[in-house]
Structure 1
C-alpha cells in the first residue's frame, strides 16, 4: 500500500518524468548508434577516396615517367638517324669530291702529256696547241681546270646539301617508325 501513497500528483509527475527520461535515454542511445554507423561509413568512404587519389597520383607519375622514357628513346632514335644521315652524306660528299679531284688531276696530266707529246704512240694526233697553251708557267685559271674544279666541287657540295636536307626532312621526330 505504500506504493499507492506515491500515486498522488507529485508521485505521478515524478513517475512520468522518469519514464520520459528513460525514453530520452533510449532515443539518445539509438541516435548515438546511428551516427557512429554513419561516421564509420563516412570514414570508409574518406579512406576509399584517399586510396583512389593516391592510386591516381601513382598512375600519373608512372605514366609521366613512361612518357619521359619514351621521349628520351625517341630523341635518341632521331639523333641516331640524323647522325647516320650526316655520316652517309659526308662520306658520299668526300667520295664524290675525291673522284672529281682525281678526274681533274687526270685531265691535267693529259693536258701536260698532250702538250709535250702530241702524237702519243700511234694514236691519231691531236690538233696542235697554241704557243701560249704550251707554256709551262701558266697563271692559275688559264687552262680553266681550277675554275672548273671549283665549280664542280661547289656543285657537288650543293647536291649533297640538298640530299642532306631531303634525308633530314624524312626523319619524323614525333613517331617511332617501328609503330607504323
Structure 2
C-alpha cells in the first residue's frame, strides 16, 4: 500500500490505463491473427475458384472444339452419302430410261416389220392390220411403240426414281449416327 501512496491517484490511474492499453493491444493482436487467417483462407478459396473456373473454361473450349470437329465430320459424311445416293439414282435413272427407249425402238421396228410384208422378204401375203397386231391386253413392254406410251413410261421411271431418291435421302442420318 505504500506504493499506492507514493504513486498517488494519477500514478494509479496511469498504471490502470497502461494495463488496459496492454490488454487492448493483446486483444487487437489476437483479432489481427484471426482476420489474417480468415483472409488467407479466403485467398486460397479464391485461387481455388479461379483455378476451377479456368478448368471449366478449358473444358468447355475443348468440348466445343470436339463438337465442331464432330459436326464437320458428320457434315462430310452426310455430303458423301448424299452424293453417292445422287450418283446411284442418276445412274439407275439413265439406265432405266435407256432400256425403255431401246425397248420402244425394238418394238417399233418389230411393229414396222410386221406391218410391211416386203420387209421380211415373204411373198405378197395379206397381213393383219397394225391395230390387230398389237394385243389389246398384255405386258406394258408390248404397248411402248406409241409415242405417248414412251413419254408416260419415261415419266413413270422418273417418278419411281424420285421416290427412291427421296426415301434414300430420308434414310441418311443427320444426327451423327451411321447412315441407315
* TM-score class normalised by the smaller sequence: 0.7 to 0.9
Q: CA 1:126–1:109 in structure 2 vs 1: closer, same or farther (change >3 Å)?
A: farther
Question: Which is worse superposed, 104-113 or 151-160?
Answer: 104-113
RMSD after superposition? 2.8
TM-score of the pair, normalised by structure 1: 0.79
* Residue 178 (structure 2) pairs with residue 177 (structure 1): yes
Kept in 2, the 8 Å contact 1:93–1:156? The answer is yes
Residue 58 of structure 1 is matched in structure 2 by 58
Return the structure number with greater relative CO, CA threshold 8 A, min gap 6.
Answer: 1
Compute the displacement of 1:5 (Å): 5.9
What secondary structure is seen at the aligned counterpart in 1 of 2:7? coil
- In structure 1, C-alpha distance between the alignment counterparts of 2:171 and 2:35, rounded to whole Å: 68
Residue 154 of structure 1 is matched in structure 2 by 155
Deviation string 1:103-158 (CA, Å, 9 cap, x unpaired) is 11112222233333368378xx893336xxxxxxxxxxxx9521111111111111
**Structure 1 segments unaligned to the other structure (5+ residues):** 131-142
What secondary structure is seen at the aligned counterpart in 2 of 1:177? coil
- In structure 2, C-alpha distance between the alignment counterparts of 1:46 and 1:7, rounded to whole Å: 55
Compute the displacement of 1:9 (Å): 1.6
Residue 16 of structure 1 is matched in structure 2 by 16
* Residue 76 (structure 2) pairs with residue 76 (structure 1): yes
- In structure 2, C-alpha distance between the alignment counterparts of 1:26 and 1:126, rounded to whole Å: 140
Kept in 2, the 8 Å contact 1:118–1:126? The answer is no
What secondary structure is seen at the aligned counterpart in 2 of 1:173? coil
Q: CA 1:104–1:126 in structure 2 vs 1: closer, same or farther (change >3 Å)?
A: farther
What is the aligned residue count?
165
Question: Which is worse superposed, 35-44 or 25-34?
Answer: 25-34
What secondary structure is seen at the aligned counterpart in 2 of 1:39? helix
Residue 31 of structure 2 is matched in structure 1 by 31
**Structure 2 segments unaligned to the other structure (5+ residues):** 131-143
Higher helix share: 2
